[in-house]
Structure 1
Amino acid sequence: MRPPSRVSISSILTPAAFKSLLVSSKTPVIPLDATWYLPNVGRNGKEEFMLERIPGARFFDIDEVKDSSSPFPHMLPSTEVFNKAMSDLGITREDTLVVYDKQANFSAPRLLWTLKIFQHPSIFILDNYPLYKQEGYEIDTKRLSAVEEAIPARSTYESPGAIEDRVVTYSDLRQVIIEPLFRKKFNIIDARPYSRWTGDAPEPRPGLPSGHLPDSISIPFNEVLEDGTKEFKNSSKLQELFLAKGVDPDKPIIAMCGTGVTACVLETALGKSGILPEDKAVMVYDGSWTEWAQRSDDKFIIKGKQ
């Protein structure tokens, strides 16, 4: 695997900074709601968007805009599918996009990463929607119908293409894992809860074994967020956390989780931490544990602590 190309981390906006951006931006600012819930939660992000949203927001459905030929959930779409989704939302490459989700910082980083992979020029993440509400900023609670939610002014969106060397496939990761000496040249960080990483707790998808990859590092995504507000921790706290966990900034970093969603929380946090050299960027294993646990040999599914 060759090192990934470097793309600068998008800005992380406080609610106040987001409101300032709406006033100061010389290009249209479009909020994108990326709310997504684990299948065992029993909630629907799209349905909640129809009831409540930031004014002017549009809904980007990571469960719909995906590689529909894959048996694994919300894998990255092709450039053609991505372009169509953006066009259907009335988005152009001149627009400034601000992503958010109703769980604070859970699925919005996945959309942030997707937009970076497809090279949208101007993207930010709101840190975060519950704080935005708590601080009294405007919320649109008009109940939308499917017709009202549709964006009438369809655009023509053309991405220059995906940055493929920032996306890790199963075959890429298997090549790393097979040889113990080779895999020690990488940081493999796992954002799932620690008890799923050890194999003590079940995965949310029935029949999927829990556990972890050999030599992987457990960094549950909540650890990069403040306990109360779920904001990203500041840079110094993040640096301390990643270094204490054993992340070596001089080695390539592969982030994973259950299905490639909260891995992007770690990817965003690593960018904010400032520990990465200028020529390094975080790679994300798109299929993550859901794919690995179904395709890998049992000897590469580890239970217990390392």
Structure 2
Amino acid sequence: MSHFVSTAWLADRLGDPDIVIVDGTWHMPNAGRDALAEFEAGHIPGAVHFDIDAIADTSSGLPHMLPDAQTFSRMAGALGIAPDKTTIVYDEYGLFSAPRVWWTLKAMGARNVKILEGGGPRWRAENRPLQSGPANPTPARFDATPDRNAVADFDTVLAATRAGSQILDARPAGRFAGTTPEPRPELASGHMPGARNLPFSDLIAEGSLKSPVELEAAIRQAGIDPSAPVITSCGSGVTAAVLTLALDTIGARDVKLYDGSWTEWGARKDAPVEKD
């Protein structure tokens, strides 16, 4: 079953009341860009903007951590998202933050979530219609049913490092190795003991995931057996979802995403760190 829909498929269904279109664009903190302002300047008609920094546990001290069920239900419902509707997620990079929104919605109980293949860039390149201004959603009811098996916390990951369990890190190779500084300067450089590296960008071509054969080859080449449990990680839990999406695409069934990722791990004095 594909995790994606085409731009043509979505264009034919604009205005369908059973489909919710979600712009999940998020920018790195040092990008100097405003995702909401860009959304209001132009977005797919009928779309709503899903702000992963706002629809989050803002008390945790960590960025865009999953919120509790009540908070998520209220905020997702206000956007018109409901568990029984088809939700189509996209971002303006092609495939960057949309998988995080896909994962969040699935982890909270949404049953039919797809990603727009090629995202906003492909939609725009094909001269498809755009709408400006704020979103105007019809509120819906979302009763979140969190899937605790989708998420790993610090203690789970620490236990995994001690047990030699599989951890797959989506950060660029230099950051993983500790030879390139972290964009958040207060964090240590390096990786969790025993973790493997597969930069998320290696799984993407022209704003889409590569073929399942290519995905599985890359994952196995990174030293990961997709039939065994895997924890995905990255800088702050965003691009780890690209790895989770790729693993799900090839049939991996025991995958947890480390929500705190390196932003939590690299800041803790009790977290062991390796460098290559």
Do these two structures clear the TM 0.5 threshold for a shared fold by scoring above it?
A: yes
Distance 1:266 1:230, change over 3 A: same
Deviates more, 1:167-176 or 1:89-98: 89-98
3-state SS of 2:89 partner? strand
Report how far residue 14 of structure 1 moved.
Answer: 2.5
Report how far residue 136 of structure 1 moved.
Answer: 2.5
1:247 aligns with 2:238: no
| Count of matched residue positions in the alignment of Structure 1 and Structure 2 | 275
3-state SS of 2:100 partner? helix
Partners of 2:77 and 2:139 within 8 A in 1: yes
Q: How does 1:121-270 map to 2 (within 5 A)?
A: 121-129=111-119, 130-140=121-131, 142=132, 144=133, 148-151=134-137, 153-159=138-144, 161-177=145-161, 179=162, 182-183=163-164, 186-226=165-205, 229-270=206-247
Report how far residue 11 of structure 1 moved.
Answer: 2.0
Cα RMSD for the two superposed structures: 1.9
Tell me the alpha carbon deviations over residues 196-232 of structure 1, each in whole angstroms, 9 at most, x when there is no partner.
0011111111221221011111100000001xx1311
3-state SS of 1:211 partner? coil
Report the structure number with the largest CA radius of gyration: 1
1:67 aligns with 2:46: no
Distance 1:10 1:32, change over 3 A: farther
Q: How does 1:35-74 map to 2 (within 5 A)?
A: 35-74=25-64
Partners of 1:234 and 1:273 within 8 A in 2: no
3-state SS of 2:248 partner? helix
**Aligned counterpart, 1:293:** 266
Distance 1:42 1:23 in 2: 31
**Aligned counterpart, 1:282:** 255
Deviates more, 1:194-203 or 1:122-131: 122-131
3-state SS of 2:25 partner? coil
Distance 1:10 1:234, change over 3 A: closer
1:102 aligns with 2:74: no
Tell me the alpha carbon deviations over residues 246-283 of structure 1, each in whole angstroms, 9 at most, x when there is no partner.
11123201000000000001111112234x2xxx2311
**Aligned counterpart, 2:7:** 15
Tell me the alpha carbon deviations over residues 18-60 of structure 1, each in whole angstroms, 9 at most, x when there is no partner.
335x2797x6111100110111111111111010100000011
Give structure 1 stretches of 5+ with no counterpart. 1-8
3-state SS of 2:31 partner? coil
Distance 1:242 1:24, change over 3 A: farther
3-state SS of 1:98 partner? strand
Return structure 1 stretches of 4+ with deviation > 4 angstroms: none
Using structure 2 for the length normalisation, give the TM-score. 0.94
Distance 1:234 1:197, change over 3 A: same
Partners of 1:192 and 1:220 within 8 A in 2: yes
Distance 1:44 1:108 in 2: 16
Using structure 1 for the length normalisation, give the TM-score. 0.85
Distance 1:251 1:242 in 2: 12
**Aligned counterpart, 1:4:** none
Distance 1:17 1:235, change over 3 A: farther
Partners of 1:168 and 1:285 within 8 A in 2: yes
Give structure 2 stretches of 5+ with no counterpart. none
3-state SS of 2:4 partner? strand
Distance 2:247 2:110 in 1: 20
